[in-house]
């Protein structure tokens, strides 16, 4: 009835096994280490030489403590005044103090800032001359349960980050790299943890299927 060209297609076993619910609703934290954290750590380890002097981070100083060398002061930026670790209480997209740090570690934050260009301009303003911004942004990830559907605004690409940070810092002051591949992106969306995955496969980076975009930008 379907004609001579019709052939019954066998559904792949891996497709049959996929459900409509993720393995984790918390990026894999409840199973181990989230995939994006693996790539963030790689990026910061590659640039640990920049993490020195007065170092600023958002919400806490986790990555400063882990990767910093020669850190003389730890600063923490948060919009929430109730955070006891915060030394700067401010909205990154609004007014922030100028020339405050030698390195600003800004990981997985800009997707929650609607006026993202203003945030990048203020991030530059927080740096002393010669200071370095180390930023990561999601290319793919689930919508955050908190703050939720109304305040998770953006996903990024290599092209958008090259343009955005280049316009603010100058093209020659910015380098952009992608981390991840279709294996990693699929696992991350499904909430699988690093400990459940092949490191060999995770370490093969495909610019057409990034999990995170990483930017190093220097204030000249």
* Mean pLDDT, each 10-residue run in order, the chain (220 residues): 60 71 87 97 98 98 97 97 96 92 98 97 98 98 88 97 98 98 97 96 98 97
pLDDT at position 14: 63
d(CA 103, CA 51) in angstroms, rounded, equals 6
Report the SS3 class of residue 9.
Answer: coil
Looking at residue 3, its pLDDT comes to 57
Q: Say whether 57 sits in a helix, a strand or coil.
A: strand
- Rounded to whole angstroms, how far apart are CA atoms 140 and 211? 5
Domains annotated for the chain, with CATH where assigned, are 23-218 (3.40.50.150)
Q: Would you state the pLDDT for residue 103?
A: 98
Name the phi and psi angles at 112, rounded to 5.
Answer: -95, 5
Listed in sequence order, the residues at least 6 apart from 157 whose beta carbon sits closer than 8 Å to its beta carbon are 139, 210, 213
Q: Structure tokens of 159?
A: 């092209």
Q: Tell me what pLDDT residue 164 has.
A: 98
The predicted pLDDT at position 161 comes to 98
In the β-sheet with 71-78, what is the strand arrangement from edge to edge?
88-89, 71-78, 53-58, 101-107, 127-138, 212-218, 174-179
Give Cβ neighbours of residue 132 (< 8 Å, ≥ 6 apart): 47, 50, 102, 103, 104, 216, 217, 218, 219
């Amino acid at each position: 009835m379907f004609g001579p060209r019709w052939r019954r297609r066998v559904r792949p076993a891996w497709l049959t096994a996929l459900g409509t619910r993720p393995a984790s609703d918390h990026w894999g934290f409840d199973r181990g280490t989230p995939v994006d954290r693996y790539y963030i750590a790689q990026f910061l380890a590659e640039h640990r030489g920049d993490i020195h002097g007065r170092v600023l981070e958002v919400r806490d100083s986790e990555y400063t403590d882990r990767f910093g060398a020669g850190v003389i002061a730890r600063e923490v930026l948060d919009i929430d005044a109730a955070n006891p670790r915060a030394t700067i209480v401010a909205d990154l997209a609004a007014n922030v103090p100028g020339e405050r740090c030698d390195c600003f570690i800004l990981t997985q934050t800009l997707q929650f800032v609607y006026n993202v260009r203003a945030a990048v301009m203020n991030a530059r303003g927080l740096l002393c001359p010669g200071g370095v911004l180390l930023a990561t942004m999601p290319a793919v990830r689930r919508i955050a349960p908190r703050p939720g559907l109304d305040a998770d605004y953006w996903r990024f690409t290599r092209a958008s980050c090259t343009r955005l940070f280049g316009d603010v810092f100058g093209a020659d002051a910015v380098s952009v790299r992608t981390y991840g591949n279709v294996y990693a992106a699929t696992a991350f969306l499904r909430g699988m943890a690093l400990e459940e995955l092949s490191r060999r496969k995770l370490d093969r980076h495909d610019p057409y299927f990034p999990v995170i975009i990483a930017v190093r930008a220097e204030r000249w």
